[in-house]
Amino acid sequence: MKATSIVEFVRDTYKTDEFIPLHAPTFNGNEKAYVTETIDSTFVSSVGKFVDDFERKIEAYTGTAKAVATVNGTAALHAALYMADVQRGDLVITQALTFVATCNALYHMGAKPIFVDVSPVSLGLCPKAVEAFLSEHAEITEAGCIHKHTGKRIKAVVPMHTFGHPVELDELVAVCLKWDLVLVEDAAESLGSFYKGKHTGTIGDVSAVSFNGNKIITTGGGGMVLCKTQELGVRTKHVTTTAKVPHPYEFLHDEPGFNYRMPNLNAALGCAQIEVIEQYLVQKRSLAHQYMSLFEGTDIKYVVEPKYAKSNYWLNAIICPDVELREQLLQETNAAGVMTRPIWKLMHRLPMFENAMCGDLTQSEFLEAHLINLPSTPIETK
């Protein structure tokens, strides 16, 4: 496969001679009307009806018990870990192959990541790798799951649904039950992705979604905490909105809170975007099928959704047979104005996580060296 075939296909698809980004937002619905409405009403900030509307819409769409809007996905993840009762000094198992935000949220909780491998099926956290790490290094005590060598508590498992492809959740739930761990899903990339008919982010106890400008729908910047129970949802809303006790005029705050609430202005954009998510999903699936045909019978493997899942196909990804071809394709496509990108550097290679504990990372290292993301903006295709 040559870079010119990819460039030609992408240009033909997007019908432009200009620079083609990896993922750009599109606004064809009620975005302007709703945003204008917030400006006309002056309720652009922390109070306004769109925040509630957007939360109820996300609840209806995902089936979660309660959704709580936040300023961004990282804040949603931070709040989710806080609600999961991750404490300073705890260890948390996550994948080495993820976007840095997953680990930043852990870091700011005072927790330390343990990096284990991803599954070749989902590109997300591998349940077998988690079990292998735990059975070698952990034991269950009265204080919970303890890392034998350091004596530290392992509190949670944070899988990330890479590029929107759902991880093997049943198996991860079983591992978490066996080892007394909380499951927190980083569903930042997977709005619109379903695991055996259930929306991602609704299986873990508490999860995070992102509405950053490059995600499947956007609020400019924004996120959402998905809570498995009403009770957890009510507490999350309280904690993420300065923990203020309702009162007509007094300032009473009953615990240390976050100011993580999403402004009404952003929520207005989100309400318009969630109305058309179905259309984006259809367009993305169709684009994914066209990429599949392009790479069929070549030395390049297109990453398809796992059999048990319906993916949102947020970012299209291919796996090159060798590092040299990967480098060549990255260089030539980018030089031709078609944005392509390698996958993230593995987390344990970053300076702030270089001393983190790691399991075997064979699959993560393979993907780190061979994967490329391709332009994925949803578009009307043939």
- We find the least distance from the C-beta atom of residue 353 to ligand PLP, in angstroms, to be 15
Is 102 among the residues that bind ligand PLP (CB under 6 A)?
yes
Among 160, 217, 271, 372, binds ligand PLP (CB under 6 A): 160
The interface region with ligand PLP, picked from 36-44, 186-194, 232-240, 294-302 by CB under 6 A, is: 186-194
For residue 265, the Cα-to-chain-centroid distance in whole angstroms is: 23
Query: In the bound complex, what is the minimum distance in angstroms from residue 211's beta carbon to ligand PLP?
Result: 7
- What is the CB neighbour count within 10 angstroms for residue 77? 33
Q: What spatial distance separates the first Cα and last Cα of the chain, rounded to whole Å?
A: 23
Distances (CA, A) of 325 to 65, 332, 371, 373: 46, 10, 11, 14
Q: Is the dihedral of CA 309, 83, 72, 66 positive or negative?
A: positive
| Nearest approach, Cβ of residue 223 and ligand PLP (Å) | 5
Separation between Cα atoms, residue 233 and residue 110, nearest integer Å: 23
Residue 9 or residue 195: which is nearer to ligand PLP going by CB?
A: 195
Q: Is 94 in the site for ligand PLP (CB under 6 A)?
A: no
Q: What is the DSSP string of 163-200?
A: GGPPP-HHHHHHHHHHHT-EEEEE-TT-TT-EETTEET
Name which of 69 and 138 has its Cβ closer to ligand PLP.
69
Strands 112-116 and 91-95: parallel
- For the bound state, the minimum distance from the C-beta of residue 155 to ligand PLP, rounded and expressed in Å, comes to 19
Binding map of ligand PLP across residues 200-219, x = CB under 6 A, - = no contact: ----------x-x-------
- For residues 347 and 122, give the distance between their C-alpha atoms in angstroms, rounded to a whole number: 18
How many residues touch ligand PLP under the rule CB under 6 A: the total is: 15
| Contact region with ligand PLP (CB under 6 A), list: 85-93, 99-107, 174-182, 364-372 | 99-107
Sign of the C-alpha dihedral computed for residues 243, 256, 157 and 141 taken in this order: negative
104 CB-near residues (< 8 Å, 6+ apart):
74
96, 97, 182, 188: which one binds ligand PLP (CB under 6 A): 188
Does 268 contact ligand PLP by CB under 6 A?
no
Phi first, then psi: give them for residue 51, nearest 5 degrees.
Answer: -60, -50
Query: Please, what is the Cα angle at 101 between 96 and 103, to 5 degrees?
Result: 50
Task: Please choose, from the candidates 95, 73, 96, 94, the residue with its C-alpha nearest in 3D space to the C-alpha of residue 188.
Answer: 73
Rule CB under 6 A: choose which of 72, 202, 207, 240 binds ligand PLP. Answer: 72
Residue 185 binds ligand PLP, judged by CB under 6 A: no
| Distance in angstroms (rounded) separating the CA atoms of residues 190 and 274 | 14
Q: In the complex with ligand PLP, which residue's Cβ is closer, 268 or 343?
A: 343
Closest separation in Å from C-beta 27 to ligand PLP:
18
Q: What tokens does 217 get?
A: 């729908």
195 vs 192: CA distance, rounded Å: 10
Residue among 74, 94, 207, 273 that touches ligand PLP (CB under 6 A)? 74
- Decide if residue 159 touches ligand PLP (CB under 6 A): no
User: Is 241:194 a contact under the CB 8 Å cutoff?
Assistant: no
Q: Does 376 bind ligand PLP (CB under 6 A)?
A: no
Work out how close the CB of 315 gets to ligand PLP at its nearest, in angstroms, rounded to a whole number. 9
The answer to whether 101 contacts ligand PLP (rule: CB under 6 A) is yes
CB of 230 to ligand PLP, least distance (A): 25
Rank residues 73 and 113 by Cβ distance to ligand PLP and give the closer one. 73
Task: Name the residues that contact ligand PLP, by CB under 6 A.
Answer: 72-74, 77, 98-99, 101-102, 160, 186, 188-189, 210, 212, 223
